[in-house]
Structure formats: structure tokens, C-alpha cells
Structure 1
């Protein structure tokens, strides 16, 4: 939701100018995606270390910075891709890296207190799988000429929990150790609701298509 709102503000144009000035012609969008992946995996590694070494706060702080940078580069790669010319592989790479970072960060969080966080962690990962499933099913059935809503080469239905909301939740879960259980459960529930809403949207989309075909 926040992603959709930001895309309609002046912030988007400012970021586009920044990307065009700093990155365009110097580095590819796919390279930015890989940088975001490496930073995200590094964040997960520091989260894991935070429960194994006595410098808990320091490692948590570093993990939060690395995750912020990871999401920052993830936001920039899409803008740069539109400047360069989007590709199917670039879209696939972006989605693969996004889900990989989220998965490893959640696994790392579970590792910090397995007895307490294992169930909300499992439900979070399961909810993510449901969202990916809906993406694959709906995206595979949508034709290229129907991609106007997101302006992406791969169809991705907007939902309750998108990239920015995920960033906010993971940041809170990483930094506020005492509230990890509550916010990880809340994250799992909201992602699950997102999957259900996308299922409903898919039903409405294809029901409309079916009705239009019958009327013709």
C-alpha cells in the first residue's frame, strides 16, 4: 500500500532523478539487485551472530543498517530497469532476490530464540509461500498487454503487505527484541491476509474475463 502511495508522490520523481544521475550508464539494474541480495544476506548473518556473540546490540544495529541498504538498492533497481529497458529475466531476478532476503532474515530471526519464534516464523514463511503461489498462478494467466497496473514486465498484484510494509515490520522485529514474538505473528497474519486478498482479486479478475467472453 505504501509503495503504491509513494509512486504517486514527488518522491518518486526525485528518486528517479537521483538514479539517472548516479547509476544510469554506470551499473546495470541486475547488478543493483545482486548488491541488494548480498547486503540482505549479510544482514541475516549478523542477526544470526547477534544471538551467538556477546555484542548483541552492535550486531543488531549492523544488521538493521545492512537490511536498510538492501531494501534501498532493491527500490533503485526497478527504477534503473525502467530507464534501461525492462527484461523478463530482470523481473524474475528481482523477485527471487527479494524473497531470498526475506526468507533468510526470518530464518535468522528464528535462530535467535527458536523456542519462542519457531511457530510465528514458520507461519511467516508459509504465508510468503502462499503469496508467491498466487503470484505464479495469476501472473502466468495474465497476458503481457494487461500489465498496465504495475508497469512491470511480470504481473504483480498490489496487496496489503508489499515491499515497504515488509521492510517496516522486519526492521521493528530486528531492533525491538522484546517484541519480536508479537510482531512476527502480526507479520505472518498480514502476509496471509495479503495472499487471501490476492486470491479474491484473481477470482474477480477471471470471473470478469469469463463474463466478457460469454457476452461476446
Structure 2
């Protein structure tokens, strides 16, 4: 899923985590319902960011926003584990991809809306996300059926330096440090663009 997840997957934590998910969530709530809950919590996080300037960027409001975002990302981890246990339909993967990107984009748009000086780095960040997901989906659509069957996801997953876990860390810092948002957004845009280039290289290696 991301560089951080890749490190965790090499430890005993992954197996214990999936056993925990199976015990606590299996047959109690569907993977798609968890995905939707994660989306709603992500939107609540964005709402708190939007409200924060009216309270002089009150740190408690920003911390609450991070808490909502953290639970949203945790649900994103849970829904994948539940989906694997349930052997869910491909639509679950599509819904998950849509909700993930919606939360990320809405958070960035909300942050931009609170400070006009963030317009350009924000636009470049959103543009980099578009490029990154475009290459990601293009590779997934082009991979042949044999390679697709070997993937745990509904489409071939081309890894890069900025993925879900890394994006979460950047968003947390963006929310909690309003004074540094300009620099952080530019850095985020650059790293996401690098990820798009990395995925383009994966496509070249696969199909040249």
C-alpha cells in the first residue's frame, strides 16, 4: 500500500493485525461500509480545518481534525483487511480508491481556501495528484490478465515514494503547522510528481 505499509508487512504485526480484524469486524460490518465511514470522517476533518481560521487556528480544533483524519486512514486500512477476508467484489477496490482520493483532495482544497498565499503550491499539489493517479490507472488498465491475477488489488499497483501512508504524514503536518504550510505544500507537490515519474518508469519497464 505504501512504503510504511511495506515495512510493516515484513513484520509479525501484519498477521496479528489481520487476525484482530477478522475477530472484531468480520460479519459485523462490510468493507464498503467501513470505506464510506472513512470518507465521512475525512470530510469531518476537512470541515474542522475550514472552521479553524474563525478561531485563530485554535490548536484544539486542528488536533481534532487530525484525530478525525487518523481514524479515517485507520478505517482505510481496516476495509482492505475485511475485503480480503470477505473476498469482496472489485467494486470495493474502486470505491476505496475513489474515497481515498476524495479525502486527500478535499483536505488540500480546504487548506488552500484558508490562505490565499497557498494557491499556487496547492494548485501544483492537486496537479501532481492528477498526474500520479493518471499514470497509476493507465498502468493498471494496460497490465495483462496474468499479471493482474498476481496482484492483491483490483489493478496492478505501481509503487512510488509518496503513497497512502506518506501522504497521511504530510497531511497531518500540514494541518498542525499552519505557519509552514507554504513550504510543506511545495515539498508535497514535488514528491508526488516524483512518484508519478517513478510510476511512469514502471510502465516503461513493463511495456517497452
Under TM normalisation by the shorter chain, which class is it? over 0.9
Structure 2 match to 1:19: 21
What stretches of structure 2 of length at least 5 have no aligned partner?
Answer: none
Structure 2 match to 1:185: 186
1:56-112 CA-to-partner distances (Å, cap 9, x unmatched) read: 222111101000000000011111100000321111000000000000000111112
Structure 2 match to 1:172: 173
Q: How many Å apart are 1:182 and its aligned residue?
A: 1.1
1:26-46 CA-to-partner distances (Å, cap 9, x unmatched) read: 000001100000000110110
Q: TM-score by structure 1 length?
A: 0.91
Q: How many Å apart are 1:153 and its aligned residue?
A: 1.9
Structure 1 match to 2:51: 49
1:122-146 CA-to-partner distances (Å, cap 9, x unmatched) read: 1110011001111221111113321
User: What is the rounded CA distance, in whole Å, between the counterparts of 1:198 and 1:55 in structure 2?
Assistant: 37
Is this contact kept in 2: 1:169–1:187, CA < 8 A? Answer: yes
User: What is the rounded CA distance, in whole Å, between the counterparts of 1:50 and 1:144 in structure 2?
Assistant: 48
Give SS of 1:161's match: coil
The RMSD of aligned alpha carbons is 1.3
Does residue 103 of structure 2 align to residue 77 of structure 1? no
Does residue 154 of structure 2 align to residue 156 of structure 1? no
What stretches of structure 1 of length at least 5 have no aligned partner?
Answer: 208-216
1:138-182 CA-to-partner distances (Å, cap 9, x unmatched) read: 111113321366411222211111100000111011111221111
Does residue 90 of structure 2 align to residue 120 of structure 1? no
Is this contact kept in 2: 1:87–1:153, CA < 8 A? Answer: no
Q: TM-score by structure 2 length?
A: 0.94
Structure 2 match to 1:5: 7
User: What is the rounded CA distance, in whole Å, between the counterparts of 1:53 and 1:150 in structure 2?
Assistant: 47
Structure 2 match to 1:201: 202
Q: 1:149 to 1:169 in 2, by over 3 A?
A: farther
Structure 2 match to 1:88: 90
Count of paired positions = 206
Return the index of the structure with the highest Cα Rg. Answer: 1
